[in-house]
């Protein structure tokens, strides 16, 4: 009987509620297939700052390192947002986790659900056939480059640095993902301005020679931001740097109509991290209103990563069936509105 | 009789065609008000590379410096786009022009035209009331910071640097613009990650004390990319750094339904530069298909900058009347389709 050790980091805001539904669905899978998922819970983010003074306590990090995978809720609390000079902030926990676990690739799929076409801010004809994956570099670039102050604090700088090695491994992943999908890869950069982007293009061109079955194209980030709104269906896999990926993956995430639907994975080393993209939504916390689908589909990505493919497919099918049946949380404006827990029950029953 | 010296840089692709319509409209204004506009033409971009080997020849720059204002078409040609290692590229001309003329502020207004609501990729209800101005810093940040290679070319870096002085002057402009509009200013940054963003917040908070009549808020760039698609009407004036402004102004520009409608100004020193945002569209060049409105409205911004307010208002009225009458180029899917020159004639007649 296969046994898996999962680190569960519910974090802040609605994190705990949606993660509870994800583990509910994993339990249903465990029952159906005879697996055992051992959950160990640990604090991260604002709750961890409150308990230990640190957004990512040593114990939490140690737990993650010895787990098979990591289920993550959300972090962030408004009391930190309006204080950019705060020395300790929840986000630091997330950034440190990515770096320490070597999670250099963030995968964000965005697809349109026919049943939910009305929710998209885009006109329905623009959303037809939207099915893309953003592969964002997650442990390099301007996020982790040298930064600081000069001139008595009156000048500030951040450095965007990329090495050939960092670019190679993420672009390779882009090619692999593209091959498993519709065979199209778009490198998004700003090679007409940035030297690091020129290195991305160089390396990508070299890798293209071993990946001639994938249709590769290049796009400047400003144009990509337009194309995502104008013709999102043109994209299959986008691969890009940390900062551009942050912006473009959030832009693309609103197309589907609700952030509450979208999962993500952050991978690289052996331990993968799986996380709904929606953030902590502090105003909604504790009210049984949050959509658990993003967390549940993150659990499906986790199953895929553990090579439990049938199990992952079951979860996705159960989600699709529930959405097709017209049930859902308020954000989906469903025919039959449910709370977080009841919606999770419904999906868990369907696996 | 007031006389104005205008440098005209039509540039590449459709640049010359749309600029011809802008000067046609300026001529109509000159006739009506008894002004004289002296146009001096000079090459920039790919055409300048062909003629002189330089994207911004010395003579062109010298001409700009001694003019009252600068009307700019577009630059860029596909033969440079697929060669990022090319030593000389049209974009360099534009970047050098901005830097040499001290054009530190790029102003990009985006508004929805009721008549053209069907063109927007967004649903009509999302577009209602959209009327924003993006104030983008244009001569600093990662565009102009130190950049290069290390480790035998295997590591590349770009530096985003901002000084208090650079931030102050552009944020001040943001406050001024907000005060003249609906009184709301949004600073877009990534202060949870970037040190330079934290300096932007610091300086902006200080300036807020002298600008208490303006309603100031802060937004992370990833969230701003979402909000522009979800609720674009929430924005009045956005002020942001060079790179974020590049991305967000292009994202917002597609909301109105056609890039062919949108003007821009780049200001700072005494000489202002006025430029349609649409780029050179090489495939459309020489076919009398390009929409001249963006260039014509850029001329209106130029008139405003020369303090010819009534004249500018006349141009805008003439554009609005033509659009309301249902005439336009193909991109507008008008009731009565015209070519570039005929559409320009129509607007010129209306001033
Ligand atoms: C919280 C923040 C530091 C983070 C990022 O920018 O990476 C978030 O926006 C994300 O995309 O996961
Ligand atoms: C051509 C390019 C260098 C330029 C920029 O990025 O500034 C363009 O995209 C713009 O926005 O004017």
Pairing of strands B105-111, B131-137: antiparallel
B193 DSSP 8-state letter? T
Same domain membership, residue B227 and residue B130: yes
Same domain membership, residue B77 and residue B59: yes
- For B208-261, the pLDDT digits (tens) are 999 999 999 999 999 999 999 999 999 999 999 999 999 999 999 999 899 999
Would you call B118 a catalytic residue per the annotation? no
Question: Cα–Cα distance between B18 and B71 in angstroms, integer?
Answer: 11
Q: Which of A41, A35, A45 lies closest to A80, judged by CA?
A: A45
Phi and psi angles of residue A285, each rounded to the nearest 5 degrees, phi first: -65, 140
Would you call B307 a catalytic residue per the annotation? no
CATH number, domain with residue B37? 3.40.718.10
Q: Which residues have any ligand 1 atom within 6 Å of their CB?
A: A 91, 94-95, 246; B 192-193, 222
Task: State residue B82's pLDDT score.
Answer: 64
Task: State residue A337's pLDDT score.
Answer: 97
Rounded to 5°, angle at Cα B348 from B292 and B327: 60
A185 token code pair: 């890869």
Cα-Cα-Cα-Cα dihedral of B65, B67, B69, B75, to 10°? -60
Report the domain count for chain B.
2
Domain boundary, last residue among A209, A233, A255: A255
Task: State residue B84's pLDDT score.
Answer: 57
Q: Is residue A30 part of a domain?
A: yes
Same domain membership, residue B306 and residue B238: no
CB A142 within 8 A of CB A243: yes
Q: Is residue B176 part of a domain?
A: yes
Q: Which residues sit opposite B135 in a β-bridge?
A: B107, B239
Same domain membership, residue B263 and residue B224: no
**Residues of B numbered 184-223 whose beta carbons fall under 8 angstroms of chain A's beta carbons: which are they?**
190-199, 201-202, 218, 221-223
User: B202 CB contacts (<8 Å, ≥6 apart)?
Assistant: A84, A85
| CB-CB under 8 Å, B221 with A246 | yes
Same domain membership, residue A52 and residue A163: no
Q: Is residue B111 part of a domain?
A: no
Known binding residue A12? Answer is: no
Q: Is residue B115 part of a domain?
A: no
Same domain membership, residue B88 and residue B130: no
CB B163 within 8 A of CB A154: yes
Domain residues for the domain of B169 are: 121-255
Same domain membership, residue B84 and residue B163: no
Q: Which of A200, A170, A175, A199 lies closest to A185, judged by CA?
A: A175
Q: Is residue A150 part of a domain?
A: yes
Domain boundary, last residue among A255, A270, A305: A255
Ordered alpha helix ranges (H), B164-291: 164-180, 195-208, 221-230, 242-253
Q: Is residue B267 part of a domain?
A: yes
Q: Which ligand is nearest to the CA of A192?
A: 2
Same domain membership, residue A226 and residue A311: no
- Sheet of B215-220: strand order equals B36-41, B3-11, B69-74, B272-274, B265-267, B105-111, B131-137, B237-240, B184-189, B215-220
Ordered alpha helix ranges (H), chain A: 15-33, 46-52, 58-65, 78-81, 90-100, 124-127, 164-180, 195-208, 221-230, 242-253, 293-305, 309-324, 340-350
Same domain membership, residue B235 and residue B154: yes
Pick out chain A residues at pLDDT < 50: none
| CA A92–ligand 1 middle distance (angstroms) | 10
| Candidate list B143, B162, B304, B314, residue with the active-site label | B143
Q: Is residue A112 part of a domain?
A: no
Same domain membership, residue A125 and residue A251: yes
Same domain membership, residue B317 and residue B237: no
Task: State residue B115's pLDDT score.
Answer: 85
| CA B190–ligand 1 middle distance (angstroms) | 9
Same domain membership, residue B336 and residue B248: no
Question: Cα–Cα distance between B262 and B256 in angstroms, integer?
Answer: 8
In order along its 351 residues, chain B shows pLDDT tens digits of: 689 999 999 999 999 999 999 999 999 999 999 999 999 999 999 999 999 999 999 999 999 999 999 999 999 888 887 665 678 889 899 999 999 999 999 999 999 888 888 899 999 999 999 999 999 999 999 999 999 999 999 999 999 999 999 999 999 999 999 999 999 999 999 999 999 999 999 999 999 999 999 999 999 999 999 999 999 999 999 999 999 999 999 999 999 899 999 999 999 977 999 999 999 999 999 999 999 999 999 999 999 999 999 999 999 999 999 999 999 999 999 999 999 999 999 999 999
Would you call A5 a catalytic residue per the annotation? no
Residue nearest to atom 10 of ligand 2 (CA): B246
Please state the separation of Cα B206 from the chain's center in Å: 28
| CA B197–ligand 2 middle distance (angstroms) | 21
Domain boundary, last residue among B220, B237, B255: B255
Q: Is residue A87 part of a domain?
A: yes
């Amino acid at each position: 009987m296969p046994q898996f050790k999962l680190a569960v980091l519910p974090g802040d805001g609605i994190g705990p509620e949606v993660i509870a539904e994800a583990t509910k669905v994993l339990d249903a899978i465990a029952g159906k297939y005879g697996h055992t998922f051992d959950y160990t819970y640990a604090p991260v983010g604002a709750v961890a700052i409150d308990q230990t003074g640190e957004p990512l306590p040593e114990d939490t990090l140690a737990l993650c390192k010895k787990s098979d995978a990591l289920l993550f809720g959300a972090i962030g609390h408004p009391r930190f947002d309006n204080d950019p000079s705060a020395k300790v902030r929840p986000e630091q926990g997330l950034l440190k986790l990515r770096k320490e676990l070597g999670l250099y690739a963030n995968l964000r799929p965005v697809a349109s659900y026919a049943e939910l076409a009305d929710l998209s801010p885009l006109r329905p004809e623009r959303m037809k056939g939207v099915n893309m994956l953003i592969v964002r570099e997650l442990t390099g670039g301007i996020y982790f480059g040298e930064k600081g102050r000069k001139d008595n604090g009156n000048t500030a700088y951040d450095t965007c640095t990329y090495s050939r090695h960092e670019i190679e491994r993420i672009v390779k992943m882009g090619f692999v993902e593209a091959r498993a999908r519709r065979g199209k890869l778009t490198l998004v950069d700003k090679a007409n301005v940035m030297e690091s982007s020129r290195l991305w293009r160089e390396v990508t061109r070299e890798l293209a020679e071993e990946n001639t079955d994938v249709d590769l194209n290049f796009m400047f980030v400003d144009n990509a931001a337009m194309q995502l709104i104008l013709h999102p269906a043109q994209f299959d896999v986008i691969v890009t740097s940390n900062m551009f990926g942050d912006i473009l993956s959030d832009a693309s995430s609103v197309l589907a109509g609700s952030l509450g639907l979208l999962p993500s994975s952050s991978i690289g080393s052996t331990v993968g991290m799986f996380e709904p993209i929606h953030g902590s939504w502090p105003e909604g916390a504790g009210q049984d209103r949050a959509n658990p689908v993003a967390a549940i589909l993150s659990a499906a990505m986790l199953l895929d990563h553990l090579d439990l493919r049938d199990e992952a497919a079951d979860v996705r099918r159960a989600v699709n069936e529930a959405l097709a049946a017209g049930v859902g949380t308020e954000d989906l404006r469903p025919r039959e509105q449910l709370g977080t827990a009841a919606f999770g029950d419904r999906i868990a029953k369907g696996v």
